[in-house]
Amino acid sequence: MSIWRVILSIICPPLAVLDKGCGSILITFLLWLCGWVPGVIAALVILNNPKR
């Protein structure tokens, strides 16, 4: 995970997971709408998952 992805996930989490698939984008976007912190946490978890 690059530093640019971390910065992008803090600023706008759905943009950070664009290449991870539609489901990841949707989940991150919905959590981001519920609150900024859940969206950031979801983006960081998705980006740290080595299997995807």
Summarised one tens digit per residue, pLDDT across range 1-52 is 789 999 999 999 999 999 988 999 999 999 999 999 999 999 999 999 877 6
The predicted structure's pLDDT at residue 51:
77
Q: Could you tell me the pTM of the whole model?
A: 0.86
Report helix, strand or coil for 44: helix
Report helix, strand or coil for 1: coil
Q: What count of Cα atoms within 13 Å lies in the side-chain half-sphere of residue 28?
A: 26
- Radius of gyration, CA atoms only, the chain: 10
Could you give phi then psi for residue 10, rounded to 5 degrees?
Answer: -80, -40
The predicted structure's pLDDT at residue 50:
77
